[in-house]
Amino acid sequence: MSLINKENRPVVDHLLASGEKYKEMKDDLSKKLNSLTIDSIELEAEERALLKKKDYNDRKRREAEGRNKENLRKSEDSIKSVIEMIMEQKKKQEELEKENVRLLKAN
């Protein structure tokens, strides 16, 4: 007696069709999983690139702030130096004026 006869033929057909449908669903899920994995890898790479760019920008900003502070300090030092020179010139001018007054009184 054979396993496939008129009575169980529909059952066998159904099992074969179900197996094919299962294989198709499994293949579809595998494709979707691969696609999601690739998307995830791309997102991770983009995130790393953004973090590197942020770190680079932060470092450049800190360097610029450091240069700005150094330039400000140099400017302040230059201003102090100019003020000191002006004060010295003012003292010399006052001394010369006193000397002129003394010479005028002596004549």
Count Cβ atoms below 10 Å from residue 34 Cβ, excluding itself: 10
Collect the ranges in the chain with pLDDT lower than 70.
Answer: 1-6, 8
CA distances from residue 55 to 44, 46, 47, 61, 68 in whole angstroms, order as listed: 16, 14, 12, 10, 20
The percentage of residues in the chain with a pLDDT greater than 90, rounded to a whole number, is 74
- Contact assessment for residue 29 and residue 21, using Cβ atoms and an 8 Å cutoff: no
Look at residue 1 in the predicted model and tell me its pLDDT. Answer: 42
Q: Where are the domains of the chain?
A: 1-79
- Please tell me the predicted confidence (pLDDT) of residue 97: 93
Residues 60-87: pLDDT tens digits? 999 999 999 999 999 999 999 999 999 9
pLDDT value of position 6: 65
